[in-house]
A and B are shown apart, each in its own frame.
Chain A
């Protein structure tokens, strides 16, 4: 056929680089112990990784606290399916927007996963034993002939291959008219909040047919809409406090004891605008894409387009620390507006001791800032420049002055390779970085030996 003759002429490089849209990772989250790492993708699937541990006995003998630390696939399941809103004739994407783990209460693990409209509670349980030695049934489960039974035996549990079962336990649907952007589990262990563009609802984990609306910023006249909710989170210790961020760069701390509907904030965190740097893009770049409480509960970390800011809950006049993530993009804002990159929503994370913050950037770069010294470092999550167990070297974007080897020019940044989603282990220096459809896990040892996967 003619095709064979033509095929050599086809340039196949684009096929190699072609990324199936459905595999793009859209959220990453460690559980409270850090043993499990969940990722959600645009195809509605959740992949859970588990950290490999050596047996406890050996560890105690050796006096080591660490383990081999490699994460392997534990379970994969389809969390959400593409849906269709018949009323509006619009598709509902199955992309997983957020995953949050519940604190572990028994042998099973629970996680909440959400797409644009529906939140689901999943139970992840292991089965590694099965009962054997039934009296009335044989190994295959067939009923035995009673006449052949001569003695009674007690069934015993015998180990089998590990099986991980994932089952949906709750489906919280029809709670949101707009797209859900955040979920956050409350410290009380019973409730959680879900936030969409205009409303925040509070749910009880056991009740699926009702939710309580705690914030509603929808104006009476939609034409007056100028601000949307971009992210929300419960305080890690106080079950009555939560914070939500807006597209205008403000943070609002709300106390649910004050009133049932928390439209009036308890505290408003806003940085006064610098009149000198005002441009048409000022509002867009001030839009907060992510907000996270510190582990201590004292600070807030926010990410807007060009900076990451640390706020003290006790001071609402402005942030206490501001870190420039990629200030070199400030002169490129119009191009970034044109190609929509200016609307990218980067996440930000704290480390376990709240001394380091991390956030993503373009060109597969991500940035870490040490809060004590104020210094930042740029690292790269890119397969071809990292080998397993290689030390990550720092990168630099050339913005003037002496150019070093390995510096990347601003104009050669790849804006399609963006690091939006990431997670930091709750107690150790292990980070998980999602780069399009790849997941990178980096570890910091006391000796700076890093592993990548």
Chain B
């Protein structure tokens, strides 16, 4: 029985149900991070590392992360099961190490997202971060953690939602998938720029970017989403002032991300296409799958794969207006929550460190006004 009510366990961004009725989107409960989340007001990634990763254990036991997904609200059984599965697998590793690795991965992905779009981002820095991400992914693939994490993500979420995320996460880096069959377990196919989208998914901008992609070159990035332009950074600064009031670090980042995505999408198409080459550079580096390397499977070429990818998806997804409306009306939907949870590691320091340079010009301007010179 298909209900026209959105299923709160699996928040989807469908605007129309299968009968063609418009769905009024309601706000889904915030989803906690699937695997290794940090408690509210918890420590930052750096804190975790500071505990001297190889010699001492952290105070947080691994079982904490098992509790977390349930605590956050109506998660539903699949998530808990996925968390448990991942937990079980990861217990074979040092839990500290895998926690830290995960937090490093999250931090790296966020760094790649949060670049200046006023000035071209520093290519050297982007390449180094992307190499770090690649290294972590390879290691996680060898451990088997990667596959578990992606399966968990895939199982837990609405397929259309996580389309890109799952497909990328499960890609040819996973030899089992490679050897098995050319189409993935999921309807979508791989395409070279898919990793970019996957990262986008993990950052929570997947909706917007997925819609963007068919309209522009496949490798056009999701960079438009999270890029903080001037006003957004000012917004973030204001949020920092309210930090005492904000208990939840992730709310702050969420707002800034949301602001950024709105900034990014609203009319910034030019910037998107203009920066697509830059994105290419950055996100190209995400490409773990090499058609040559994936010997077992002939990688499908980009364009047909792209079409196939989107053929199963509700065409209303491509409606930018819908997306924007969706974003504004229900900002805390599915993939966005993943960003929130990723962000909960405390990238507020990131925000100040990584991005303040460009908005120092803004600060300059503000200073002049204050000083009255």
Binding site for B on A (CB under 8 A): 15, 18, 20-22, 85, 87-93, 116, 178-179, 197-198, 221-228, 230, 247, 280-281, 283-284, 287, 331, 334-335, 337-341, 343
Q: Specify which of B124, B274, B349, B350 is in contact with A247 (CB 8 Å cutoff).
A: B124
Q: Are A197 and B350 in contact (CB under 8 A)?
A: no
SS class of chain B's interface: helix, strand, loop or mixed? helix
The answer on a CB contact under 8 Å between B287 and A223 is yes
A89-B270, A198-B123, A280-B132 are known; give 6 further A-B pairs, CB within 8 A.
A90-B117, A179-B123, A230-B124, A337-B104, A338-B350, A340-B353
| Residue contact B132 to A284, C-beta cutoff 8 Å | yes
- The answer to whether residues A90 and B118 also contact, given A21-B360, A247-B127 and a CB cut-off of 8 A, is yes
Interchain CB contact (< 8 A) of A339 among B52, B125, B349, B360? B349
Counting residue pairs across A and B whose Cβ atoms lie within 8 Å, the total is 123
In the complex, which residue of chain B has the Cβ closest to the Cβ of A19?
Answer: B360
Residues in chain B near residue A224, CB distance under 8 A: 284, 287, 290
Q: Do B124 and A197 touch (CB < 8 A)?
A: yes
Distance between Cα atoms of A15 and B350 in the complex (Å) = 24
**Inter-subunit contact B132/A223 (CB<8 Å):** no
Q: 6 A–B contact pairs at CB < 8 A?
A: A15-B371, A90-B119, A90-B120, A225-B281, A338-B349, A340-B111
The smallest C-beta distance from B114 to any residue of chain A, in angstroms, reads 10
Tell me if B367 counts as interface (CB < 8 A to partner A): yes
CA distance A221 to B293 in the complex (A): 14
Residue of B nearest to A336 (CB): B46
Closest to A181 in B: B124
Query: Could you say which residues of chain A place their CB within 8 Å of the CB of B357?
Result: 21
- Please tell me if the beta carbons of B131 and A226 are within 8 angstroms of each other in the complex: yes
Q: Which residues from chain A contact B285 at a C-beta distance below 8 Å? A: 222-223, 225-226
> How distant is the Cα of A5 from the Cα of B122 in the complex, in angstroms?
45
B128 touches A334 (CB 8 A): no
- CB neighbours (8 Å) of A91 from chain B are 118-119
Check if A22 sits within 8 Å of B123, measured CB to CB.
Answer: no
Q: Given the complex of chains A and B, what is the CA–CA distance between A20 and B100 in angstroms?
A: 37
Is B184 located at the chain interface by the 8 A CB criterion? no
Q: Tell whether B16 is near chain A: CB-to-CB under 8 Å.
A: no
Cβ of B93 under 8 Å from chain A? no
- What 1/0 flags go to B178-222 for Cβ under 8 Å of A? 000000000000001100000000000000000000000000000
The answer to whether B107 and A21 have CB atoms under 8 Å apart is: no
Q: Which residues of A contact B270 (CB under 8 A)?
A: 89
Cβ A225 vs Cβ B284 within 8 A = yes
Beyond A334-B49, A343-B125, is A223–B353 a contact (Cβ under 8 Å)? no
**A197-B123 contact in complex given A20-B364, A22-B364, A281-B132, C-beta closer than 8 Å:** yes
B278 in contact (CB, < 8 A): yes
Known A93-B119, A340-B353; contact A222-B280, beta-carbon cutoff 8 A: yes
The smallest C-beta distance from B318 to any residue of chain A, in angstroms, reads 24
B261 CB-CB contact with A under 8 Å: no
Encoded as 1 (CB less than 8 Å from any A CB) or 0, chain B from 355 to 368 comes to: 00100110110010
Q: Are A343 and B120 in contact (CB under 8 A)?
A: no
CA distance A230 to B122 in the complex (A): 11
Q: Which residues of B contact A93 (CB under 8 A)?
A: 119
